[in-house]
Amino acid sequence: MMSRREFSTEQLAEVRRLQDLYPHRQGALLPVLHMAQETFGHISLETEAYVASLFDMAPSHVHEVVTFYTLYFPEQPGRHILSVCHNLSCHLAGAQGILAHLKSRLGIDAGETTADGKVTLLAVECLCACEAAPMMQVDDRYELNLTPAKVDAIVEGLA
Amino acid sequence: MPKVTIDGKEIEVAPGTNLIEAARQLGIDIPHYCYHPSLSIAGQCRLCMVDIEKAPRPTIACNTQAADGMVVHTQTDRVKETRRSVMEFHLINHPLDCPVCDQAGECWLQIYYMKHGLYEPRMKDEKVHKPKAVPLGPHVILDAERCILCSRCVRFCDEVTRTGELGIFNRGDHSEIGLFPGMDLENKYSGNVVDICPVGALTDRDFRFQVRVWYLDTAKSICPGCARGCNIEVHVNRRRPHHAEGRRVARLKPRFNAAVNKWWMCDAGRYGFTFVDDADRLTTPSRREGDATIPISWEEAIAAVKAALTGPADGIGVLASPRMSNEDLFVLRRILDTLGLRQVAFRVPPAAAGDQDNLLIRADKNPNTRGAELIGLDGDASAILAAARAGKLTALLVFHHDLLDSGWPAVEVREALGRVGTVIFAGTNASATSLASHYVLPSAAWVEREGTFTNFEGRVQRFRTAVEPLGESRADWEWLGQLLVALGQAPAGERAERWFRALTAAVPAFAGLSYQSIGDEGQPT
Amino acid sequence: MSESAPHVEPLLMRNFARADSHTLGAYHETGGYTALDKARAMEPAAITEEVKKSNLRGLGGAGFPTGMKWSFIPKGHTGPVYLVVNADEGEPGTFKDRYLLERDPHALIEGMIITARAIRCEKAFIYIRGEYVEPWRRFTAAVREAYDAGYLGRGFDIVMHRGAGAYICGEETGLISSLEGKKGWPKVKPPFPAIKGAFGAPTIVNNVETLCHLPHIINRGAEWFAKLGTATQGGTRMYSVSGRIKRPGVYEESCAITLRQLIERAGGVSGNGVLKGVVPGGSSAPILTAQEIDVTMDVDGLRKAGTMAGSAGVIVFDETVSIPEALMVVARFYAHESCGQCTPCRETTGWIYKMSHRIVEGHGSKDDLDTILDLSKRGAGTTICAFFDGAVGPYISYIEKFRSEFEALIPK
């Protein structure tokens, strides 16, 4: 996954299909950046320039998009991303404690990745699961009603 | 056409006119940062708010088109309070760099703060820090902390040069102007972003720390870099000669002309003025004796030219220059007609083909080719070169061209110059050609005299004197005029304007023009 | 003594108990896609009229009358018209759209098809926030079912578009910018989206929940729907209740319910059991004190009470909640989510967060509170979009209504 720099032929066909869905093909930029992140693991400057070329766009305007949104990673994140919500309802339910517990357990601060490249810890804004606060997003899934014990089990279960 | 009332004054404007422009037509200034007439509407700075009757809140003027019957107030208490608030918002994270910032004195944060702000500052927290002194290319340097994120520079690169180098990255108060990492601001108009940046975020590397702007005098002029004739201002430093390394001309700025260059000029023209104050400027008439250069008086120089040009016409060649003004060329024409000289030309091929684009840049890197054509100085320059090589010329008068750095093979030019009886060079700077000439006459540079150029579209445009001629240099029309006096063909002491008037009488293309009618915007032939 | 809240028959949440509620089969079983037949027999203008009469208001945050918004599309426009579904739920305290996408995606699809007929739209985009992976999967599966069953693909297509993490993409023109492949910068208005929106074409942006009501309106009539609510807002809505509440979750109620009744319905105050205040409409809504909860939870009722219905995200504070801490948390949110395009919001949200943080840390100064209030009042109404107006909701109301709590933290 790391060494590939360009999309495969099938993926390029998918890029074109996505571009055709939008009245102006630039509309497909966010979906294609998601594809790039899934394929290459993160979105490096080289990838930005590559994606820009697929859209005939100035690379600066792709860089604008990548630096604006929080789900695009300019550097390779850990194999697992733990996004702990620290917004209002989660704060009232003890998000600070959950974050502190994770920081100490993983030995990193929010915004950092463990040295073995396994886990990236993030403090994020409202994930809209306030009824199950405190909570976090682990990769693609929401983990709700967290307690330190539950957090420990989740971390232990990460491959 | 919609009629609007602004601050009690009514005006009829073209449909689609926004309120900033409508107010401007009434002489009312609505303060603004992000709006620029050449660029798309951004609506980001929020400074141009005005009160419009029937609107519940102040509205931005840049994005409001004048509608018939609209009543606008720009000086209500509410508008003034809004402006004061917006000034405070802009200065929350702005660094107190004024003492070291080139923009001081022409900074729109300073100007608008004094006019619309004047509040007690209360920001005591740490300001957001961003990169400072970041070169963006050969000409422009960025200070991201000073940037007010008006996005003019980004829109300029997207919409005018269509090169898209700049973007605004991140979000919130960490937003930052920048280049795509690893790229340069490489387009040929990069200097314009410095003009349109209202603050000291984008400044000229060339001008950095040279001289404070309040020491500068300005003169309206025309860029001599190519046949477009972009309208410019020349900014000179007379009052602090120990600043700017002693350079008198500090910088050039474009001047708006809807018919020629709009708001812009190219980098080659903008930064191409340094020859004016270079050490190799010719400042004294001189004569070569062997390897020695002997300074002589202008009387002696003009007498030498007169002597050289008096003789059989076949033996005299004149290479005029399309860098000379209409006035220079006209006086030369009069001399040639008086003396019956017909071997004259001005098209010396350049060393390299000039670049040209769809914006402003013309391949012809001379400001007055059209003038030289209209004044009748076109001829066969190669024939003159051939005649010189064949030893047929007793005199060759060369204006400005460095023949040894042209499209002609240098070895042929050396041969030619070696075989001419008297080579006379008139120009601003020393060159290989001037060193090979018998007489060298120092010309005043274009900023050191007034006159007119005719651009490639036949538009005649005035340039005005910005500084005094360096040393003993003289405008070509001036010393050529003195030669004409010596030939008994003109009264003494004629000024450029009188030569222009004589030109309009003699050359039909210029008929009816005058310095007054040309004004600051030029006039077509 | 407060009355008990009127009991309403659930419309949006009627199938939530079923484990297969998201499937086409379940939707058919419970009468799904019958409104579509009715709508197809109606003229587009008639559908819009019905929606106007129903008093359906936008349920994403602005509360604008839905039928009226549809009618802003220029008459006689011949080019494309786009429907854009705002599934970029992000207002703190709100989670109703997540439930709808996961548990009743076909209701949304049916609502979209009805809307498309009313506004003469052939292509709709649905913008789902990037973090909502399971809702994305459920909705994608439902769209595929709908195509297979022939509800989609015959003159109307849905394009799925995934967001990438930015609250401001919930603002309708910020969403449009993001859909166009740019940063989520809201657009300067005018022009308004119904005139010139996505890709330069007339565009209607509607919230997920708003559209889910349409099948019910078409099936049972505008008059019936209007009567379910208040005089100016029809129907039910899903309240997201969280914070110090015994039974956090989504509650579908008539929008005539009072806040007091809603809190009761959700089990009452947890924590120390004594109510301190309630944020009634997502974090951007000014806070109400414990004395102010006898207010109807409809758009106009809450506006009259000096706050807003917003996204109906109800966050309950008991007495042990520190308001200065709550302010710091929301100030951090607004500073993080400010898109940065216009000066008042970009610069002020960052500075106000710094001040609120200093206050909580015990390093506040006497002037800070008045500075925050003054900056808020000066900035409100001066920005490109309503994000900043949302931010000043808590900035102003928390300090004005709980000032003594802040002053207690400021060193003498």
Is the Cβ of C240 closer than 8 Å to some Cβ of chain A? yes
Size of interface B-C (CB pairs under 8 A): 95
B46 to C382: CB separation less than 8 angstroms, yes or no:
yes
Domain C24-226 belongs to what topology?
A: Rossmann fold (3.40.50)
Label residue B290 by pLDDT band (50, 70, 90).
confident
In B151-170, the residues whose Cβ lies within 8 Å of chain C are: 168, 170
Check pLDDT > 50 for residue B445: yes
Query: What tokens does B511 get?
Result: 């008929």
List domains and CATH numbers for chain B: 3-91 (3.10.20.740), 123-277 (3.30.70.20), 286-524 (3.40.50.740)
Is the Cβ of C283 closer than 8 Å to some Cβ of chain A? yes
C162 to A34: CB separation less than 8 angstroms, yes or no:
yes
pLDDT per position as a tens digit, C92-131: 999 999 999 999 999 999 999 999 999 999 999 999 999 9
In B124-153, the residues whose Cβ lies within 8 Å of chain C are: 124-126, 128, 148-149
What is the chain B residue with the closest CA to A65? B169
In B495-514, the residues whose Cβ lies within 8 Å of chain C are: none
ipTM associated with this complex: 0.96
Is the Cβ of B90 closer than 8 Å to some Cβ of chain C? yes
Stronger pLDDT, B246 or B104, i.e. the higher one: B104
pLDDT per position as a tens digit, C362-382: 999 989 999 999 999 999 999
**Alpha-helical segments (H) within B183-249:** 192-196
In A28-57, the residues whose Cβ lies within 8 Å of chain C are: 28-31, 33-34, 55
Reported as half-sphere exposure (CB side, CA atoms, 13 A), residue C91 has a value of: 32
Is the Cβ of C90 closer than 8 Å to some Cβ of chain A? yes
Section A2-14 average pLDDT: 87
Section C288-310 average pLDDT: 98
B89 to C344: CB separation less than 8 angstroms, yes or no:
yes
CA B223, CA B230: separation in Å to the nearest integer?
5
B neighbour chains, 3+ CB pairs within 8 Å? A, C
Pairing of strands B459-463, B523-524: antiparallel
Among C329, C289, C296, C276, CA closest to A133: C329
Provide the 10 A C-beta neighbour count for residue B107: 20
The pLDDT value given to residue B369: 98
Label residue B494 by pLDDT band (50, 70, 90).
confident
The beta-carbon neighbor of B164 closest among A45, A48, A61 is A61
C211 contacts C115 by C-beta, under 8 angstroms: yes
Reported as half-sphere exposure (CB side, CA atoms, 13 A), residue C83 has a value of: 29
What is the chain A residue with the closest CA to B179? A60
Where do we find the tokens 């003195």? Answer: B482
The pLDDT value given to residue C296: 97
Among C1, C229, C193, C240, CA closest to C97: C240
Label residue A3 by pLDDT band (50, 70, 90).
low
Instruction: Supply φ then ψ for residue A61, to 5 degrees.
Output: -80, -20
Among C93, C187, C167, CA closest to C334: C167
Q: What is the DSSP letter of B260?
A: T
CA C131, CA C140: separation in Å to the nearest integer?
15
CB contacts, 8 Å: C387 with chain A: none
pTM strictly above 0.80:
yes
Section B201-230 average pLDDT: 97
For chain B, state the CA radius of gyration: 27
Query: What tokens does B220 get?
Result: 């309206």
C333 to A88: CB separation less than 8 angstroms, yes or no:
yes
CB contacts, 8 Å: C165 with chain B: none
C199 contacts A22 by C-beta, under 8 angstroms: yes
Section B97-124 average pLDDT: 97
* Domain C228-318 part of CATH 3.10.20.600: yes
The beta-carbon neighbor of C183 closest among A68, A86, A128 is A68
C neighbour chains, 3+ CB pairs within 8 Å? A, B
Is the Cβ of C348 closer than 8 Å to some Cβ of chain B? yes
Label residue A115 by pLDDT band (50, 70, 90).
very high
A neighbour chains, 3+ CB pairs within 8 Å? B, C
The pLDDT value given to residue C5: 72
Residue C403: alpha-carbon gap to chain centroid: 29
CA C204, CA C85: separation in Å to the nearest integer?
8
pLDDT above 70 coverage of chain C, percent:
99
The beta-carbon neighbor of B128 closest among C336, C350, C355 is C350
Q: What is the mean pLDDT of chain A?
A: 96
What is the chain C residue with the closest CA to B64? C190
Label residue C14 by pLDDT band (50, 70, 90).
very high
The beta-carbon neighbor of A58 closest among B164, B170, B178 is B164
pLDDT per position as a tens digit, B292-349: 999 999 999 999 999 999 989 999 999 999 999 999 999 999 999 999 999 999 999 9
**Closest CA of chain A from C219, distance in Å:** 31
The beta-carbon neighbor of A45 closest among B171, B178, B181 is B181
CA C364, CA C367: separation in Å to the nearest integer?
8
B141 contacts B203 by C-beta, under 8 angstroms: yes
Check pLDDT > 60 for residue B272: yes
C98 contacts C132 by C-beta, under 8 angstroms: yes
Q: Which residues of A touch B (CB under 8 A)?
A: 45, 48-49, 57-61, 63-64, 67-68
The secondary structure of B351-406 as a DSSP string is: SSPPP--SSS--S---S-HHHHHHTT----HHHHHHHHHTT--SEEEEES--GGGB
pLDDT per position as a tens digit, C145-193: 999 999 999 999 999 999 999 999 999 999 999 999 999 999 999 999 9
Instruction: Tell me the residue length of chain B.
Output: 525
The pLDDT value given to residue B157: 98
A68 to B169: CB separation less than 8 angstroms, yes or no:
yes
Query: Which of B165, B169, B177, B185 to mutate to probe the A interface, most A CBs <10 Å?
Result: B169
Check pLDDT > 80 for residue C4: no
CB contacts, 8 Å: C367 with chain B: 122
For chain A, state the CA radius of gyration: 18
pLDDT above 70 coverage of chain A, percent:
97
CA B327, CA B307: separation in Å to the nearest integer?
23
CB contacts, 8 Å: C180 with chain A: 22, 24, 26-27
The pLDDT value given to residue A4: 65
A58 to B180: CB separation less than 8 angstroms, yes or no:
yes
Domain C323-409 belongs to what topology?
A: de novo design (two linked rop proteins) (1.20.1440)
C248 to A131: CB separation less than 8 angstroms, yes or no:
yes
Domain ranges of chain C: 24-226, 228-318, 323-409
Instruction: Supply φ then ψ for residue C367, to 5 degrees.
Output: -80, -20
CA B168, CA C336: separation in Å to the nearest integer?
16
Check pLDDT > 50 for residue B383: yes
Check pLDDT > 80 for residue B164: yes
C336 to B128: CB separation less than 8 angstroms, yes or no:
no
pLDDT per position as a tens digit, B410-437: 999 999 999 999 999 999 999 999 999 9
Check pLDDT > 90 for residue B111: yes
**Alpha-helical segments (H) within chain A:** 9-21, 29-40, 45-55, 59-68, 88-92, 95-106, 148-156
Q: What is the DSSP letter of B496?
A: H
Bridge partners for B203 per DSSP: B141
A120 contacts A113 by C-beta, under 8 angstroms: yes
Section C236-262 average pLDDT: 97
The pLDDT value given to residue A1: 44
**Alpha-helical segments (H) within B131-265:** 152-159, 192-196
